[in-house]
Amino acid sequence: MKLLSINVSKPKPIQYDGKTIRTGIFKEPVSGTVMLREKNIDGDGQGDLRVHGGTYKAIYGYPFEHYTHWQQELQRDDLTYGQFGENLTLEGLLEEKVRIGDVFQIGSTVKLQITQPRVPCFKLAYKMGLPEFPKQFLESRRVGFYFRVLEEGEITAGDTIACIETVPESMSVTEIVNLRYFDRDNREKIAQARKLRALSPSWKRDFTKILNK
C-alpha cells in the first residue's frame, strides 16, 4: 500500500444556484514533505465546517484504483490527483476491504483510523461539471473514506502505508454505505453497525434514525 499524492486547497469562492459559497474541493497535489495535523493537512482547508472537517472527517482518502473506472465511465482523460476532493490519493486501500476502525500508519509517525465513508454533495457535481455525478458516485460505491488522526506527523508522496490494527468484528466501508443507502431494511445489520466504536457519531445518529422509523 502506498501514498501516491497529497492534495490540498484553501477554500475558494464559487457561484452556485445564485449564491456565493466557499469550497475546498479544488485539491491540487503538493510536493515534498507535508505536516499532517489532528484536524487537517498544512495548506488545506474546508469551506463549511458544519459538514466538512472535524475530528472524524479530518482527512479524506480516495483509492487511486478508481481513477481508471471513472476515466472509462465518463470518457475523460483529464482526471488528476485530487480530482474527487481527496486529501490523500491511496493505492491498495479499497472500500470492500478496509473496515471501520482499521488503523494505518503512513511513513514513520502518522497514524490514521477509518471512521466513515464519504457522502458526495453538490460541490463534487460542480467540480466535475456533472449535475448528476454525486448520485452516480454514491451508487458506484467508489466513495472513499474519512480518517481520524491518531498521531500527527510528516508525510511525503511515495510513503508506504501499513495496516497496524484491524477490527475483525467490524464492517467494511462498502457494507456501511450499503446499509445507509441501499439496504435500509436490514435492521439487524444496521443495529450492529450503529454499535461500531470507531464509526463517526453522525453516522451512528443516522443509523439510529433509520431504526426508529
pLDDT band at 50 (very low <50, low <70, confident <90, very high): low
Cell of 144: 472513499
**For residue 19, what pLDDT is reported?**
87
8 A C-beta contact, residue 147 and residue 115: yes
pLDDT band at 49 (very low <50, low <70, confident <90, very high): low
Of 46, 8, 47, 51, the closest CA to residue 30 belongs to 8
**β-strand pairing of 59-63 with 88-91:** parallel
How many domains is the chain built from?
1
pTM: 0.94
- Separate counts of helices (H) and strands (E) for the chain: 6, 12
Of 189, 191, 183, 200, the closest CA to residue 58 belongs to 200
d(CA 177, CA 81): 24
pLDDT-wise least confident of 44-48, 168-172, 186-190: 44-48
pLDDT band at 53 (very low <50, low <70, confident <90, very high): confident
pLDDT band at 15 (very low <50, low <70, confident <90, very high): confident
**For residue 62, what pLDDT is reported?**
98
Question: Within 13 A of 211's CA, how many CA atoms are on the CB side?
Answer: 15
Residue 63: φ, ψ to 5°: -70, 130
Beta bridge partners of residue 21, listed in sequence order: 14
Cell of 88: 490523500
pLDDT band at 52 (very low <50, low <70, confident <90, very high): low
Instruction: Tell me which residue range forms the domain holding 152.
Output: 2-212
In CATH, what number is assigned to the domain containing residue 41?
A: 2.40.33.20
